Amino acid sequence: MAACRFLAVLVLLLAGCVTMDAAECRGANWYELGFRDAMYGLQPMDAAYGEQCGKHDAKPDTAAYAKGWQEGKWEYDSRKRIGGTD
């Protein structure tokens, strides 16, 4: 239980330091990135990704990210209800 909390805090701290280079911004699967963020229990990070990618004149696919995040959040909440996540 303590290890899970430590991991959750670590993920949140790292999420605050979103860094993406130009190639990552242009080649990202924005749906998968949104899904993953939600499954980690994170709030939507599209604004942070947009800021990072804007530095490289790249733009995230916010619609795909939002769809992935919504579906990941649904999955996360479903697992939480049945005791599958902490």
pLDDT value for 38: 97
Q: What is the pTM of this model?
A: 0.74
Q: How confident is the model at residue 81 (pLDDT cuts 50, 70, 90)?
A: confident
pLDDT of residue 84: 64
Specify whether the CB–CB gap between 31 and 56 falls below 8 A. no
- The whole-angstrom separation of Cα 65 and Cα 45 is 9
The number of helix segments (H) and strand segments (E) in the chain equals: 5, 0
**pLDDT single digits (tens) 21-67:** 999 999 999 999 999 999 999 999 999 999 999 999 999 999 999 99
pLDDT at 10: 46
How far are the Cα atoms of 31, 50, 71 from residue 78, in angstroms, in the given order? 19, 28, 11
